[in-house]
Amino acid sequence: MKQDVPIWDNVYKKKDDIVSREIAGEAILVPIRGKLVDMQKIFSLEDVAEYIWQNLDGKNRLSDISSRVLQAFDVEKERAETDLLEFIDELLNAELIEKAGSES
């Protein structure tokens, strides 16, 4: 029986049909479906969320991203971990990221 990978070992990557743009100093994620923009799934990212987004490259484990967030921002570990998991869940539900292998 296949055993699930612990959540912190999960690796995610951005879907290919997502465009990231900076507009008026704010990072915006825009999903492109065919030739159309999916207006229902546009995301605006704050500093920490943008930092996390940049680290979702298909190589970094969630534990690595969490450690980097703790080093880069003034936040408590428990809060950083909770926020990271909630953000990942939002991105998954919006179909902006997908699980990659943990073969890094």
| Domains with residue ranges and CATH for the chain | 7-98 (3.90.930)
The pLDDT mean for the chain works out to 87
Is the full-model pTM beyond 0.85? no
Instruction: Read off the pLDDT band of 8 (50, 70, 90).
Output: very high
Residue 72 has a CB neighbour count (10 Å cut-off) of 13
Whole-angstrom distance, CA of residue 103 vs CA of residue 7: 15
Contacts of 87 (CB under 8 A, 6+ apart): 49, 52
Burial status of residue 53 (CB atoms within 10 A of its CB: 0-12, 13-18, 19 or more)? buried
51-88 pLDDT, tens digit each: 999 999 999 999 999 999 999 999 999 999 999 999 99
94 pLDDT higher than 90: no
Cα–Cα distance measured from residue 82 to residue 85, given in angstroms and rounded to the nearest whole number: 5
